[in-house]
Each structure stands twice: as C-alpha cells, then as structure tokens.
Amino acid sequence: MKRSNAPIFWSMFGAGGMLSALIGPLLVFVTGIAVPLGLLLPPDTMNYARMLGFAQNWLGKAFLFAVIALFMWHGVHRIFHSLHDIGIPAGTLAKLACYGFALAGTLAAGYVLIAIGF
Amino acid sequence: MSARRPYVRSMDGWWRRDPFFVRYMAREATAVFVVAYALVLLVGVLRLSQGEAAFNAWLAALRSPLSVAFHVFLLAIFVYHTWSWFRIMPKTMPLILPDGRRLKPGLITGAGLAAAALLCLAGFAVLMGVKP
Amino acid sequence: MQTERQPPMTEPVKTIRIEVLRYRPEQDSEPVVQAYEVPFTDDMSVLQGVQYIKDYLDGTLSFRWSCRMAICGSCGMMIGGVPKLSCQTFLRDYYPAGLRIDPLAHFPIERDLVVNVEDFIRKLEGIKPYIVPKEPRTLEQGEYLQTPGQLEQFLQFSGCINCTLCYSACPQYGLDSKFMGPGVLALLHRYNADSRDGASAERMQLVHAEEGVWGCTAVGYCSEVCPKGVDPANAVNQNKTASAMDYFLRFVTPKAVANKGAANKAGAK
C-alpha cells in the first residue's frame, strides 16, 4: 500500500495541540480577559511600547510565530478530518482549502513579524 | 442463484447516536476556536506592525464587552481542549516499558494537566512581575 | 414429533420486551423491527434471550453464537445501540424498560443479526497474523526463550478474540471500510511486538498507509467496547508515533530506528 504523507500534518497537529494545551488557556485569559479588564494584571501590560519591544526581540518573534502558526496547523488538521466525520467529502479541494489556509496564516505571520523589525 | 442481498445501513447522524461520539465531536470542534484565537493574535501582530494608533485600536476592540464575552467562551473551549488532549495523549505512547512494567495512562494524563497548570501559573507570575 | 414445547422454567418469571431488527432478504426490502415478550430470570444473558425467541417464539430468527462464555467472539450484537457480546450482557440490566437488538454496526446485514465480516477476515489475513521467524530454526534448537518483559510487550494484544465489536464502535471504519480498523491493527502490533517475530518491517508498510494507522482519528471507542481489554486504540495510536518517527528519520538514520525497535523487543537490561 502507498505510504501516506500524513505524518507531516499529524506532527504539526501534535505540536500545535501540545502548545495550545499547555499555554492556550493562559494566553486567552491574559490577552482576552485579564488585560482588557485590568483584572489581576495592569491594563497597560500589553501596551504598544511593550508589545513592540517583545515582537522586535528574536525570542518574542519566535514565540509569536510558533503560537500563531502551530495553533493554525493544529486546528486545520482537525477541521479537515472532521469534515469527513460530518459527511462532507474530504477530497483534494478540502485538503487544499484547509492546509492552504494554515499556510497563508503562517506566511502572513512570518511576513508581519519580520516587517515589525528588530 | 443466491438469495443473498446484503443490506448496508446509513452512517447519517452517527455521532448523535451515542454520548461517547458527542464528546468526541465536541473535542474535535475545539479546533475551530483554536484557529479563531490564532487569527485574533495574527490580527494583533498585524496591527502592531501598522503603528501605535492601529495597535491601540486593536486593544480597544479587545476591551469591548463582545470581545471579553467571546474570550470567556474561548477560555472554556481551551480548557476543554487541554483536558481532552491529555486524556487521549497516553494512547499515542507505548504503555509497556521494555522490561514489562506498565505506565498508567492516568499518571501520564495527570502529569500533562499538572504541567499545563504549572506553566499557566508560572507564566502569570512572570507577567505580574513585569516592570511598568 | 413434539406438538408444543414448554420452556423448562418452574418458578414464576418476569417478562422483558426485546425488539430485534429483522432482515430477511427474500421477503424484506429493508430491515424491520419485531418485538418479542421474553420470560426471563436474573441469570439470563441476552444470548439466552434470543435463544428463547428462536426456540419457543420464532424459529426464523437468525444469529451467531458458540461458546456462550465470551471467548469465541461469535455473538456480537448492538444491544441498546452499544456493541456488546450478547453472552456477556444480561437481560436484568435492561429491565423493565426492555432492550433493542441490532446486528453489529458498520457491517452489511446478511440476515437478521448475522452480518458479513468477510472484509475483516480479508484484512486479518493480509497482516500475516503468525510468527514469521527472524531466521530459519531447527527443532533441535528447542523452543524460543522469552523474558517476562518480552512477553508483556505483546500479551495484552494477543487477547483479541476477533469479535469485531471494535469495528462496530469505530466510526472511521463505518465511514470508510478501506480503513484497516482497530482489531487488525492491534493484531498487527501483537506480532510486531513479539521478540520471536521477524516481519516487523513488512507489516509496517501496511501501518504507514492511509488505510493503516492514518485512517484513525483517536475516537477511542474501540478500546471502550473491547471485551478482552486489548486496547486497540493504544496499539493503533502508538504506531502513529512510530510511523511518523520512521517517516522523518528513514533517510537520516534508518539503522538507528531499526535498532531501537530491536532493543525494545530484546528487553531492557
């Protein structure tokens, strides 16, 4: 039987799933609840100067890129397989749409993070 | 002439027929929201690259009641993802060591959940200690 | 010839309503539900319930069974929508509401509760479900020796009784029968994990395919319903990790990957 290329996508699905399982709740809480409401953290925790400094730093760039890209590769892999589960034929078009979306997001994140400068 | 006429049953609505499958579909559905949050962050770094005014507008949008409510919902989804992720993780590992001793799946799940909790607390502590 | 057979029960008994999905290809265009009132005692299994129906109520009911002690794997049925061995499921647990019996899911129905499992048999034959010696061995060399650790590697997976409950539990098999499925992949792993066997590399070619482990989405229901604690979900998903590692490392360090597998079989020092 023909060898599947699934390992490529499954590994990224796994990496993204692990990362989101470990720090996803924290990130959502901080960026979406705590900082906007000034709850437990000062509301200027994510101010422009601070975030720009973070994103211009190599480690900050790597972190942001990893989170955005891996979350997307994780999500689209599961979405693609779930299409099959709910009766939508998971053919080449669906595969291109799902993984293409993640690729677009990855490239966009990379471009933007480099454009932010150092 | 054979009298056989095998009957193939439909798979329509298969996952609605059993609570186990409903939980599986819920687990899979978390993927949509993981992507959604990645897009929120992507927009954030995009606005960051567009200058202070653009980024402040993004921050203001995050402060809206709709956004906060959405993130509360997202938080619940992410917690369910963390829970279901470490529940299924032991299945992807050999649970029998080379010398024959067994790894308890519950221990692996517990370790994963503990690591997640620890990282969240540590991360939060780091953020609280950030100088203004 | 006896005129009327009486059930051999003396004490007062309760009755339970059993609904069975019937299908007689020569007369039914599609399956139809038929209900029976079955007198029972608390020690009676669902298998005994359908045997009562066949013996005293409706001789046309068809179903498979043999050992009636959960080792032959013949009597699998959907009981209350869940794949179970009917000899190991008890009528008292469905009383007084009653129960509905369907043939095992995800297989074509031949007649009543008899399903066509030819696909499973074909897949099973395809994985070489026997020890393929690493090298030729003479009788004079005696039996293979294994440590308890080496036995543990495959013993659990050898408990499979080919009952196919896991195939009825697996929605991926139900959606696409090209998928090898949990039972066959667990048995494949049983042989790969056995230190006496030398056909690992050959069987892994099946594992690496889309129809192999990559058809699984880790639903996990197969392990839930397995009557023998085989845990096919673990067999399949740990082979995803093995298959992925081999995929990435095969050009880099093929010997290292092969040796790691051999070391695991030999048992740790």
Q: What is the CA radius of gyration of chain B?
A: 23
Chain A residues bordering chain C (beta-carbon distance below 8 Å): 1-4, 6-8, 10-11, 81, 84-85
Q: How confident is the model at residue C232 (pLDDT cuts 50, 70, 90)?
A: very high
Is the pLDDT reported for residue C209 higher than 50? Answer: yes
Chain A residues 46-105 with CB within 8 Å of chain B: 46-48, 50-52, 55, 64, 67-68, 71-72, 74-79, 81-82, 85-87, 105
User: Residue C269 has what pLDDT?
Assistant: 39
Q: Domains in chain C, please, with CATH?
A: 14-115 (3.10.20.30), 118-266 (1.10.1060.10)
Is the pLDDT reported for residue C192 higher than 50? Answer: yes
What's the average model confidence in pLDDT over C96-109?
98
User: Residue B2 has what pLDDT?
Assistant: 83
In angstroms, the separation between the Cα of residue C174 and the nearest Cα of chain A is 10
Chain A residue numbers touching C243 (CB-CB < 8 A): 7
Q: Who among B31, B41, B67 is closest to A79 (CB)? A: B31
Domain ranges of chain A: 8-115
Chain A residue numbers touching B55 (CB-CB < 8 A): 48, 51-52
pLDDT in tens, C136-155: 899 999 999 999 999 999 99
Domain ranges of chain B: 15-95+102-128
- Total beta-carbon pairs less than 8 A apart between chain B and chain C: 90
Neighbours of chain A (3+ CB pairs under 8 A): B, C
Three-state DSSP class for C24? coil
pLDDT in tens, A64-75: 999 999 999 999
Q: CATH: 1.20.1090.10, 1.20.20.10, 1.20.1300.10, 3.30.565.10. Which one for A8-115? A: 1.20.1300.10
CB contact under 8 A, C171 and B4: no
> Hey, what CATH topology would domain B15-95+102-128 get?
3 helical TM bundles of succinate and fumarate reductases (1.20.1300)
CB contact, 8 Å: C29 with chain B?
no
DSSP one-letter string for C131-188 = --BSS---GGG-S----HHHHHHHHGGGG-----HHHHH-HHHHH-TTS--HHHHHHH
CB atoms within 10 A of CB B75: 19
CB contact under 8 A, B28 and A78: yes
CB atoms within 10 A of CB A36: 22
In angstroms, the separation between the Cα of residue A116 and the nearest Cα of chain C is 34
CB contact under 8 A, A78 and B31: yes
Q: Which are the contacts of C88, defined by CB distance < 8 A and separation ≥ 6?
A: C45, C70, C227
Mean pLDDT of chain C: 92
CB contact, 8 Å: B22 with chain C?
no
pLDDT in tens, B6-24: 999 999 999 999 999 999 9
